[in-house]
Amino acid sequence: MKKNNNLLKNIIYIVVAILAMLVLNLFLDSYQVRILNLCFIYIILGLSMNLINGFTGLFSLGHAGFMAIGAYTVAILTMTPEMKEMNFYMKPMLPALINLNAPFLIALLSGGLLAALFGFLIGAPVLKLTDDYLAIATLGFSEIIRVVIVNLQSITNGALGLKGIPQKTNDFIAGRFDIKPSINLLWAGIAAIITIALIRLLMKSSYGKAFKAIREDEIAARSMGINLFKHKVMSFTIGSFLAGIGGGLLAVSLGTIDPTLFKFALTWNIILIVVLGGMGNISGTIISAMVVTIAMEALRFLDESINFGFIQTPALPGLRMVVFSIILMAVVIFKKDNIIKSTLEKARGRYAKN
Amino acid sequence: MSTQEFLQHLANGTSLGSLYALIAIGYTLVYGILRLINFAHGDIFMLGAYIAYYGIIFTPLPWWLVFILASVVTGLVGLVLERLAYKPLRGSPRITILISAIGASFLLQNLGILVFGGRPKAFPSPEFMNKVINIGGVSIGLVSIIIPFVTLILLMILTFIIQKTRTGMAMRALSKDYEAASLMGIDINGVISFTFFIGSFLAAVGGILWGIKYPQLIPIMGIMPGLKCFIAAVIGGIGNITGAVLGGFILGLGEIMLIAFLPNLTGYRDAFAFILLIIILLIKPTGLMGEKIAEKV
Amino acid sequence: MLKIDNITMKFGGVVAVNKFSAEIDKGEIVGLIGPNGAGKTTVFNMVTGVYKPTIGDILYAPSGKLQSITNLRPDEIAKIGICRTFQNIRLFKELSVLDNVFIGNHLRLQSGVVSSVLRLPNYTRQEKDMYEKSKYLLEKVGLYDERDEKSFSLPYGKQRRLEIARALATEPKLLLLDEPAAGMNPQETQELMEFIGNIKDEFELTIFLIEHHMEVVMGICERIYVLDHGAHIADGDPIEIQNNPKVIEAYLGVD
Please report residues of C whose CB lies closer than 8 A to that of A202. Answer: 113, 116-117
Residues C58 and C102 in one domain: no
Residues C111 and C45 in one domain: no
Predicted pLDDT of residue A351: 39
d(CA C179, CA C212): 7
d(CA C252, CA C255): 9
The answer to whether A329 contacts B107, with C-beta atoms less than 8 Å apart, is: yes
Which A positions 235-264 lie with beta carbon below 8 A of chain B?
264
Task: List the single residue in B with minimal CA-CA distance to C40.
Answer: B297
Residues C159 and C39 in one domain: no
CB C29 within 8 A of CB C211: no
Please report residues of B whose CB lies closer than 8 A to that of A136. Answer: 37, 230-231, 234, 277
The answer to whether A222 contacts C73, with C-beta atoms less than 8 Å apart, is: yes
Q: Which helix (H) or strand (E) holds B140?
A: strand B138-141
**Does any CB of chain C come closer than 8 Å to the CB of residue B127?**
no
d(CA A183, CA A251): 12
Predicted pLDDT of residue A96: 84
Per-residue pLDDT of chain B (297 residues; tens, 9 = 90+): 677 788 888 888 998 999 999 999 989 999 888 888 899 999 999 999 999 999 998 988 888 899 999 999 999 999 999 998 888 888 777 778 888 888 889 889 888 888 888 889 888 888 777 778 877 667 777 888 888 899 999 989 998 998 888 888 888 888 887 778 778 878 888 889 999 999 999 999 999 999 988 888 999 899 889 989 999 999 998 888 889 999 999 999 999 999 888 888 888 888 888 888 888 888 887 888 876 655 555
Measured over the CA atoms of residue B119, residue B125, residue B129 and residue B132, the dihedral's sign is positive
For C130, the closest of A206, A212, A238 (CB atoms) is A206
Domain range for C106:
93-171
Task: Residue C3: name the closest of C197, C208, C180 by CA.
Answer: C208
Task: List the single residue in A with minimal CA-CA distance to B284.
Answer: A129
Residues C177 and C254 in one domain: yes
List the single best residue of B291, B293, B297 to mutate versus C (max C Cβ within 10 A): B297
For A227, the closest of C50, C75, C83 (CB atoms) is C75
The answer to whether A136 contacts B234, with C-beta atoms less than 8 Å apart, is: yes
Q: Nearest-CA distance from A156 to chain C in Å?
A: 33
**Does any CB of chain B come closer than 8 Å to the CB of residue C206?**
no
List, in order, residues 6 or more apart from C135 with CB less than 8 Å away.
C98, C144, C147
d(CA B281, CA B287): 8
Question: Domain ends where: C148, C171, C194?
Answer: C171
Task: Residue A147: name the closest of A233, A139, B281 by CA.
Answer: A139
Q: Nearest-CA distance from B138 to chain C in Å?
A: 50
Predicted pLDDT of residue B167: 85
Q: Is residue C88 part of a domain?
A: no
Q: pLDDT band at A305, cuts 50/70/90? A: low
Count interface pairs B-C at CB distance under 8 A. 8
For B297, the closest of C11, C12, C50 (CB atoms) is C50
Predicted pLDDT of residue A282: 93
The answer to whether A209 contacts C106, with C-beta atoms less than 8 Å apart, is: yes
Predicted pLDDT of residue C169: 95
Predicted pLDDT of residue C175: 95
For chain B, the residues whose C-beta falls within 8 A of a C-beta of chain A are: 31, 35, 37, 85, 88-89, 92, 94-96, 98-100, 102-104, 106-107, 110-114, 118, 223, 227, 230-231, 234, 267-268, 270-271, 273-275, 277-278, 281-282, 285, 295, 297
d(CA C89, CA B14): 52
CB A161 within 8 A of CB A258: yes
φ/ψ of residue C55, rounded to 5: -135, 155
Q: Is residue C252 part of a domain?
A: yes
Which C positions 40-69 lie with beta carbon below 8 A of chain B?
41, 45, 50-51
d(CA C100, CA B274): 39
Q: Look at strands A306-307 and A312-313 and give their pairing.
A: antiparallel
Residues C192 and C246 in one domain: yes
List, in order, residues 6 or more apart from B91 with CB less than 8 Å away.
none
d(CA A174, CA B188): 66
φ/ψ of residue C6, rounded to 5: 55, 50
Q: What is the DSSP letter of B293?
A: -
d(CA B231, CA B228): 5
The answer to whether A143 contacts B89, with C-beta atoms less than 8 Å apart, is: no
DSSP three-state, residue B37: coil
Q: Which helix (H) or strand (E) holds B215?
A: none
Task: Residue C48: name the closest of C170, C182, C174 by CA.
Answer: C174
For chain A, the residues whose C-beta falls within 8 A of a C-beta of chain C are: 198, 201-202, 205-207, 209-210, 212-213, 216-217, 219-228, 234, 238
Task: Residue A282: name the closest of A59, A6, A50, A60 by CA.
Answer: A50
E-assigned strands of chain C? 2-11, 14-24, 29-33, 55-60, 67-68, 82-84, 174-178, 206-210, 223-228, 231-236
CATH code at C66?
3.40.50.300
Share of chain A above pLDDT 70, in %: 89
d(CA C78, CA C174): 10
> What is the Cα A49 distance to its own chain's centre?
8
d(CA A45, CA A269): 10
CA distance from start to end of chain A: 22
Task: Residue B293: name the closest of C37, A135, A130 by CA.
Answer: A130
Q: Which of A63-77, A170-184, A289-303, C24-38 has the lowest mean pLDDT?
A: A170-184
Q: What is the DSSP letter of A353?
A: P
Q: Taking 50 as the threshold, does the pLDDT of residue A340 lie above it?
A: no
* Average pLDDT of the residues in A148-164: 89
Q: How many domains does chain C have?
A: 2
Domain boundaries, chain B: 22-221
The answer to whether B103 contacts A129, with C-beta atoms less than 8 Å apart, is: no
Residues C145 and C165 in one domain: yes
Q: Nearest-CA distance from A185 to chain C in Å?
A: 26
CA distance from start to end of chain C: 40
CB B21 within 8 A of CB B225: no
Most confident region among A66-70, A180-184, B135-139 by mean pLDDT: A66-70
d(CA A145, CA A156): 12
- Residue type (1 letter), A20: A
pLDDT < 70: residue spans in chain C: 252-255
Residues C214 and C157 in one domain: no
Q: Look at strands C223-228 and C29-33 and give their pairing.
A: parallel
Task: List the single residue in A with minimal CA-CA distance to C108.
Answer: A225
Residues C179 and C239 in one domain: yes
**Does any CB of chain B come closer than 8 Å to the CB of residue A152?**
no
Partners of residue B217 on adjacent β-strands: B121
Residues C7 and C46 in one domain: yes
The answer to whether C45 contacts B297, with C-beta atoms less than 8 Å apart, is: yes
φ/ψ of residue C88, rounded to 5: -105, 75
Q: Taking 70 as the threshold, does the pLDDT of residue A316 lie above it?
A: no
Rg (CA), chain B: 19
**Does any CB of chain B come closer than 8 Å to the CB of residue C86?**
yes
* Average pLDDT of the residues in A250-272: 90
3-state SS, A227-250, equals CHHHHHHHHHHHHHHHHHHHHHHH
Q: Which tens digit of pLDDT belongs to each residue from A123-139?
A: 988 888 887 788 888 99
**Does any CB of chain A come closer than 8 Å to the CB of residue C75?**
yes
Q: Taking 80 as the threshold, does the pLDDT of residue A343 lie above it?
A: no
Per-residue DSSP letters for A86-126? HH--SSPPPHHHHT----HHHHHHHHHHHHHHHHHHHHHHH
Q: pLDDT band at A353, cuts 50/70/90? A: very low
DSSP three-state, residue C55: strand
φ/ψ of residue A76, rounded to 5: -65, -35
Q: Which tens digit of pLDDT belongs to each residue from A95-123?
A: 888 888 889 999 999 999 999 999 999 99
Q: pLDDT band at A348, cuts 50/70/90? A: very low
Please report residues of A whose CB lies closer than 8 A to that of C48. Answer: 223
CB B175 within 8 A of CB B33: yes
Cα maximum dimension of chain A = 69
d(CA C118, CA C115): 5
Q: Counting beta carbons within 10 angstroms of the beta carbon of residue A295, is it exposed (0 to 12), middle (13 to 18) or buried (19 or more)?
A: middle
Question: Domain ends where: C171, C203, C228?
Answer: C171
Q: Nearest-CA distance from C73 to chain B in Å?
A: 15
Partners of residue A312 on adjacent β-strands: A307
Q: At what angle do helices B166-176 and B3-34 cross, to 10 degrees?
A: 80
CB atoms within 10 A of CB B257: 16
**Does any CB of chain A come closer than 8 Å to the CB of residue C105?**
yes
E-assigned strands of C25-168? 29-33, 55-60, 67-68, 82-84
Q: Nearest-CA distance from A228 to chain C in Å?
A: 8
Q: Is residue C86 part of a domain?
A: no
Task: Residue C10: name the closest of C72, C73, C53 by CA.
Answer: C53
Measured over the CA atoms of residue B173, residue B174, residue B178 and residue B183, the dihedral's sign is positive
Predicted pLDDT of residue A315: 61
Predicted pLDDT of residue C255: 46
Domain boundaries, chain A: 12-262
Count interface pairs A-C at CB distance under 8 A. 102
Task: List the single residue in A with minimal CA-CA distance to B296.
Answer: A219
φ/ψ of residue A184, rounded to 5: -75, 110
**Distance of CA B240 to CAs A125, B168, B286, C182, C233, Å?**
25, 14, 10, 40, 42
The answer to whether A216 contacts C92, with C-beta atoms less than 8 Å apart, is: yes
Q: Is residue C132 part of a domain?
A: yes
Task: Residue A111: name the closest of A254, A244, A239 by CA.
Answer: A244
Q: Taking 50 as the threshold, does the pLDDT of residue A341 lie above it?
A: no
Question: Domain ends where: C171, C204, C231?
Answer: C171
Residues C141 and C192 in one domain: no
φ/ψ of residue B251, rounded to 5: -70, -45
Q: Nearest-CA distance from A314 to chain C in Å?
A: 49
Q: Which tens digit of pLDDT belongs to each residue from A18-33?
A: 989 888 888 888 888 8
DSSP three-state, residue C11: strand
Q: At what angle do helices B3-34 and B223-236 cross, to 10 degrees?
A: 80
Q: Is residue C161 part of a domain?
A: yes
Residues C140 and C204 in one domain: no
CB A67 within 8 A of CB A44: no
d(CA A70, CA A45): 12
Partners of residue A204 on adjacent β-strands: none
Q: What is the DSSP letter of B141?
A: E
Q: Is residue C183 part of a domain?
A: yes
Mean pLDDT of chain A: 85
Q: What is the DSSP letter of B86?
A: I
- Residue burial C92-101, b: 16+ Cβ < 10 Å; e: rest: beebbbbbbb
**Does any CB of chain A come closer than 8 Å to the CB of residue C127?**
yes
Q: Taking 50 as the threshold, does the pLDDT of residue A349 lie above it?
A: no
**Distance of CA A80 to CAs A77, A85, A87, A94, Å?**
8, 9, 11, 14
**Does any CB of chain A come closer than 8 Å to the CB of residue C167?**
yes
Task: Residue B243: name the closest of B282, B189, B196, B291 by CA.
Answer: B291
